[in-house]
Amino acid sequence: MSDGFKLSIVVPCYNEEEVLHETTKELTAILHGLIADQKITPTSKIVFVDDGSKDKTWQLIDTFSKENEVVSGVKLSRNFGHQGALLAGVTTASKDSDAVITIDADLQDDVNAIPKMVDEYLNGSEVVYGVRNNRDTDTAFKRSTAEMFYKFMGFLGVKLVPDSADYRLMSQRACKVLLSYKERNLFLRGIVPLVGFKSSKVYYARKERFAGVSKYPLKKMLKFAIDGITSFSIVPIKMIMGLGFFIVLISIVLLIYSLVQKVNGNVVDGWSSLMISIWALGGVQLISISVIGEYVGKIFSEVKQRPRFTIEEDIYTEKTQQENKR
């Protein structure tokens, strides 16, 4: 290990032209520092993944990769979403990198945690989670919804590392295992803990987005949360079953009540109990069907075995091949 191991930093980018310059500058500085310390090889790379951006993101990546030895990129043929872009980057980079770090393009995650992750890797960790020790810069809404989500997932029995997002280091071996999870509905932060191997955590303060706006509007966030829940847990089905039993219990109580009223000679007001039963059962059935539908939908998309991403251009492999020839 004279000149270190090969590290790749995978950065998903969707319409990030405003931040790319600064991101490249900061990540390059970090890489150069690590190269100087002989912890990583000079062939280590930044791998920008252009997730079907509509702005100049790819042109910038292309230009930077010509000027800058450590910059490379992969262009997806359309927008596959954050998780798809991450997977595309990890697939490409883990072919020949000893370790891969994933980080958002907007510099919200502190790049200074990278050398700490590298040290953890050198100490034998195969998965190093970046964990936020504060979320002061996120909006109160984002903070509280995220907290609720992590609590709810815990309640459903899905193991997640709290306050860790998609900022982490994985060894080549851990990446290979991750990629062997063939599901289409991607929820990477749920799969990574299932990969196993020795893991550790590195703490950092989450910052404001450097420029531009969040590419995760509420609609995408909700879809992401629902995907996470239904891809990893069948507890919702069990909850509906419990609700079903509960409603049946209520209808028994109602039945006894109306019988007592009849024996006492009161005129049974059949209309109200009838209406209650019809509405209650109808409601339960509808909820049940919708939950089952959610899972059927998952089966539907899994059996299709569609590719999860398609790479259009790959400067990374080109560059590496040239470097290997040298």
Structure tokens at 260: 């007592």
Do residues 224 and 217 touch, judged by C-beta distance below 8 A? no
Provide, rounded to whole angstroms, the least separation between the CB of residue 210 and ligand UDP: 10
> Quick one: 21 or 238, whose CB is closer to ligand UDP?
21
Of 7, 13, 177, 186, which lies in the binding site for ligand UDP, with binding defined by CB under 6 A? Answer: 13
For ligand UDP, the binding residues in 82-121 under the rule CB under 6 A are 82, 85, 104-106, 108
Question: Which partner from the list Mg ion, ligand UDP, none does 82 bind, CB cut-off 5 to 8 Å by kind?
Answer: ligand UDP
For 193-222, give one letter per residue: b (16+ CB within 10 A) or e: eebeeebbbbebebeebbebeebeeeeeee
The count of C-alpha atoms lying within 13 angstroms of the C-alpha of 261, restricted to the half-sphere facing its C-beta, is 12
Q: How far apart are CA 231 and CA 239, in angstroms?
A: 16
Q: Are strands 164-171 and 127-134 parallel, antiparallel or unpaired?
A: antiparallel
Return the residue of 5, 6, 27, 51 that touches ligand UDP, per CB under 6 A: 51
How many angstroms separate the CA atoms of 146 and 129, rounded?
Answer: 17
Using the rule CB under 6 A, is 17 a contact of ligand UDP? no
**Residue 1: burial class (beta carbons within 10 Å; 0-12, 13-18, 19+):** exposed
- Find the shortest distance in angstroms from Cβ 118 to ligand UDP: 21
Q: Which listed option, Mg ion, ligand UDP, none, makes contact with residue 138 (CB within 5 to 8 Å by class)?
A: none
Q: Residue from 116, 168, 189, 215 that binds ligand UDP (CB under 6 A)?
A: 215
Q: Which stretch binds ligand UDP (CB under 6 A): 143-151, 152-160, 173-181, 212-220?
A: 212-220
16 binds ligand UDP per the rule CB under 6 A: yes
Nearer to ligand UDP, 45 or 132 (CB): 132
Which one, 106 or 126, has the nearer CB to Mg ion?
106
Gyration radius of the chain over CA positions: 25
Three-state DSSP state, 49:
strand
12 binds ligand UDP (CB under 6 A): yes
Question: How far apart are CB 181 and ligand UDP at their closest, in Å?
Answer: 20
Q: Should residue 14 be labelled a site residue for ligand UDP when binding is judged by CB under 6 A?
A: yes
